[in-house]
């Protein structure tokens, strides 16, 4: 890629306060300057502000208007993917009515920071509660999500008394961007999989002065929280996941082979098996591509904003509790905020590489022995049965089936999600912090 490419410009001008991030991203071989290495060792935490130049937004709108559209689908539904009319309507609004500066201002109203961990600049939002006994918690997003998923739960979780909760329900929140996602630096070498990210998160929480804390996540955030639980860093009290990894080995083998469901499954287990079998058959192609060919996928996603939007919207439609119509639970602006974040930061391919790094089936049962809580949302890819969950999470302190919400629970149903976390961690609040 030439040094005058629009994508290079997008990364360089993220923020005037992110000079080290810009240098690390634009170096010819991705090498870090000595000054950045010193910052890594010192554990410096620097303020961060989002500030994209107007020319990046103008170039985005121009690219949207210049889209070369495919033929209309030959079916009357979404079985071939996102329908042409849906994408054309979304693109028309994106090019003429959407305002990125609105979400940029919302982000900049929050305390945002960068800190260097294991050679990468990590971006995070850090909001401390006014309640002195608040429980520190690190919240991790997934794909195709971002820190934007959690904006609506920051208030309810840090200031519960203003949102129907009690002072003893309060959390201090740390919300990082996964390396290669959003405003965190893109890895320039291999090795940044969930295990390494989990270790980095433990460093981050220690660096911020939290002696004890909990971890929460869905999608990749759940995978990373599970890995943290297995690693058992000294300060981790427990985890909560809303994308639990529970599928037993014998069931996983049958699913992998496309076999009928094993005999003896309970009704909940059979329902979970059927949901997963359908997902593998009709909904997992995106993962197969990113696990095996993230670079190939990245060319189209990095060059066409509408291509990127369709790639992400497909999952918003499939994974929300919306019957395939995500506008019922997420606003059009909210979805475009997330899509635009990926576009402006140029992270379509770097985010996809996390699938290549992991190359594992994240439904398959983990073995977690520290206190763990699980919330099951009805629009999730599969509804984990209690029987499977108990076998994977050996110290299960909370299990609940929520009334609404899907894969993006914090984004879709922030009130329910906040209530789930309050209940999930209530028994751990007596631990010293």
Q: Cβ distance 64 to 97 under 8 Å?
A: no
Q: What is the largest CA-CA distance in the chain?
A: 61
Nearest to 169 by CA among 135, 137, 211, 215: 135
Q: Cβ distance 293 to 287 under 8 Å?
A: no
Nearest to 362 by CA among 217, 223, 254, 239: 223
What percent of the chain is helix, strand and coil (3-state, nearest 5)? 50, 15, 35
Please name the residue ranges forming H helices in 293-385: 294-303, 305-319, 332-345, 348-358
Q: How far from 14 is each of 9, 28, 109, 345, CA to CA, in Å?
A: 9, 18, 16, 8
Q: Known catalytic residues?
A: 219, 355, 407
Q: How far from 143 is each of 222, 223, 316, 402, CA to CA, in Å?
A: 11, 12, 10, 22
Q: Is 116 exposed, middle or buried (0-12, 13-18, 19+ CB in 10 A)?
A: buried
Collapsing DSSP to helix, strand or coil, 139 comes out as strand
**Lookup: tokens for 4:** 């005058």
Q: Cβ distance 368 to 396 under 8 Å?
A: no
Number of H helices, E strands in the chain: 19, 9
Cβ neighbours of residue 137 closer than 8 Å, sequence gap 6 or more:
157, 171, 172, 173, 174, 213, 214, 215, 216, 421, 425
**Lookup: tokens for 160:** 């519960």
């Amino acid at each position: 890629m030439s040094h005058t490419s629009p994508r290079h410009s997008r990364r360089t001008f993220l923020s005037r306060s992110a000079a080290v991030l810009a240098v690390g991203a634009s170096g010819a071989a991705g090498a870090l300057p000595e000054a950045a290495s010193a910052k890594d060792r010192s554990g410096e935490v620097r303020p961060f502000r989002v500030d994209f130049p107007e020319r990046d937004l103008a170039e985005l709108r121009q690219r949207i208007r210049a889209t070369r559209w495919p033929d209309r689908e030959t079916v009357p539904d979404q079985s071939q993917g996102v329908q042409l009319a849906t994408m054309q309507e979304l693109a028309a609004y994106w090019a003429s009515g959407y305002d990125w500066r609105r979400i940029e201002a919302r982000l900049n109203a929050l305390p945002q920071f960068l800190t260097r961990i294991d050679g990468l600049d990590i971006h995070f939002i850090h909001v401390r509660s006014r309640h002195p006994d608040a429980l520190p918690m690190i919240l991790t997003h997934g794909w195709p999500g971002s820190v934007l998923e959690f904006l609506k739960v920051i208030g309810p979780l840090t200031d519960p008394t203003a949102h129907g909760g009690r002072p003893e329900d309060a959390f201090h929140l740390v919300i990082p961007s996964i390396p290669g996602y959003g405003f965190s630096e893109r890895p320039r070498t291999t090795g940044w999989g969930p295990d390494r990210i989990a270790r980095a998160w433990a460093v981050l929480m220690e660096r911020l002065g939290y002696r004890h804390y909990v971890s929460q996540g869905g999608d990749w955030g759940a995978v990373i929280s599970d890995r943290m639980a297995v690693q058992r860093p000294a300060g981790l009290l427990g985890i909560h996941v809303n994308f639990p990894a529970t599928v037993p080995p014998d069931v996983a083998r049958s699913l992998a082979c496309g076999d009928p469901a094993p005999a003896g499954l309970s009704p909940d287990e059979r329902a979970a098996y059927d949901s997963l079998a359908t997902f593998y058959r009709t909904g997992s192609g995106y993962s197969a591509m990113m696990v095996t060919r993230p670079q190939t996928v990245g060319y189209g996603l990095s060059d066409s904003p509408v291509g990127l939007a369709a790639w992400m919207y497909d999952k918003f439609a499939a994974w929300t509790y919306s019957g395939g119509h995500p506008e019922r639970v997420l606003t059009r602006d909210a979805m475009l905020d997330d899509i635009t974040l990926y576009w402006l930061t140029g992270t379509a391919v770097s985010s996809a590489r996390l699938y290549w790094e992991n190359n594992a089936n994240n439904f398959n049962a983990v073995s977690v022995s520290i206190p763990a809580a699980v919330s099951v949302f009805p629009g999730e890819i599969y509804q984990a049965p209690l029987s499977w969950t108990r076998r994977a999470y050996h110290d299960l302190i909370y299990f609940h089936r929520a009334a609404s919400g899907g894969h993006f629970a914090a984004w879709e149903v922030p009130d329910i999600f906040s209530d789930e976390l309050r209940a999930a961690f209530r028994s751990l609040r007596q631990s010293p912090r």
